[in-house]
């Protein structure tokens, strides 16, 4: 069965303290791995799609990377406005989501 | 473009009552989805549609029905609500053209069943 596991569940950073979020997956026939940002009380917002191992995507302070078993979302010099829950999802026969990592960035 | 909209935003039901959640998208997407989100469990797919007039079951379909009479609308129905259906419900749409699987979500409906 397709599975997506995100770690850590929660992460607290000081402003400017870089770190990474992990998404490990087991799936047959990966068609894409997705990162979403979700703010409290709102729907997930699409960030990135990664299709093959070795691929990287960047957007402002975020950089997503993909290997055959996991993906990382690197956050460089985060700001308080980066605080949110980050969701990882994999597309095979259907879309499976991880439970998310709740990121808090303190000023 | 409004993107994906959902109505209502909040609803409280008593056990056994019925209701319909409405999702609308103005992006001309073929695929539409209904998810529920519960604490610690991530988003789980209830039903989805690959086009007007078609629907299919997802991971957790029991207790729900859907209809897609128009391409831009996707309705989720609860025939007899149960406390286990207390959740936040999200609708999403996807172009699914040229391998684009990303989904665009609505703002959600918070449903409480007492």
Q: Is A99 in Cβ contact with B105 (below 8 Å)?
A: no
Of A90-94, B9-13, B41-45, B94-98, the poorest mean pLDDT is in B94-98
A107 or B1, which is more confident: A107
Tell whether the model's pLDDT for residue A47 goes beyond 80.
yes
Interface probe for A, chosen from B2, B33, B101, B110 (most Cβ of A below 10 Å), is B101
Contact list, B5 vs chain A (CB under 8 Å): none
Q: With contacts defined as CB-CB under 8 Å, which chain A residues touch B43?
A: 44, 87, 89, 97
Using the beta-carbon criterion (under 8 Å), do B42 and A98 form an inter-chain contact? Answer: yes
Please write down the HEC assignment for all residues of chain A. Answer: CCEEEEECCEEEEECCCCEEEEEEEECCCCCEEEEEEECCCCCCEEEEEECCCCCEEEECCEEEEECCCEEEEEECCCCHHHCEEEEEEEECCCEEECCCEEEEEEC
Chain A residues with beta carbon closer than 8 angstroms to that of B98: none
Look at residue B49 in the predicted model and tell me its pLDDT: 96
CA angle A7, A12, A17 (to 5 degrees): 105
Determine the pLDDT at residue A83.
98
Q: For residue B16, what is the DSSP state? A: T
Alpha-carbon gap: A44 to the closest alpha carbon of chain B (Å) = 6
Report yes or no: A32 at the B interface, CB cutoff 8 Å. Answer: yes
pLDDT at A1: 77
Rounded CA separation B71/A62 (Å): 34
Say yes or no: A78 contacts chain B, CB-CB below 8 A: no
**Residue A10 contacts B, CB cutoff 8 Å:** no
- Are the CB atoms for A73 and A23 separated by under 8 Å? yes
Which of A32, A94, A99 lies closest to B41 in CB terms? A99
The two counts, helices (H) then strands (E), for chain B are 0, 11
Q: Which band of pLDDT confidence, cut at 50, 70 and 90, is reported for residue A94?
A: confident
Tens-digit pLDDT profile for residues A51-88: 999 999 999 999 999 999 999 999 999 999 999 999 99
């Amino acid at each position: 069965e397709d599975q997506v596991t995100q770690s850590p569940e929660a992460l607290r950073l000081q402003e400017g303290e870089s770190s990474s979020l992990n998404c490990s997956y087991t799936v047959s026939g990966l068609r894409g791995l997705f990162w979403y940002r979700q703010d409290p009380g709102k729907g997930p917002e699409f960030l990135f799609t990664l299709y093959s191992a070795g691929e990287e995507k960047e957007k402002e302070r975020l950089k997503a990377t993909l290997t055959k078993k996991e993906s990382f979302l690197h956050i460089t010099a985060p700001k308080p406005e980066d605080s949110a829950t980050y969701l990882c999802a994999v597309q095979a026969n259907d879309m499976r989501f991880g439970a998310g990592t709740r990121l808090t960035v303190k000023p | 473009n409004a993107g994906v909209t959902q109505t209502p935003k909040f609803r409280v039901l008593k056990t056994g009552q019925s209701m319909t959640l409405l999702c609308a998208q103005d992006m001309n997407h073929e695929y539409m989805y209904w998810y529920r989100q519960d604490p610690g469990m991530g988003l789980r797919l209830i039903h989805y549609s690959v086009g007007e007039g078609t629907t299919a079951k997802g991971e957790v379909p029991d207790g729900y029905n859907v209809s897609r009479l128009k391409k831009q609308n996707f309705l989720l129905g609860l025939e007899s609500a149960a406390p286990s259906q207390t959740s936040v419900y999200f609708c999403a749409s996807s172009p699914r053209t040229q391998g684009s699987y990303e989904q665009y979500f609505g703002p959600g409906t918070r449903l409480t069943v007492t």
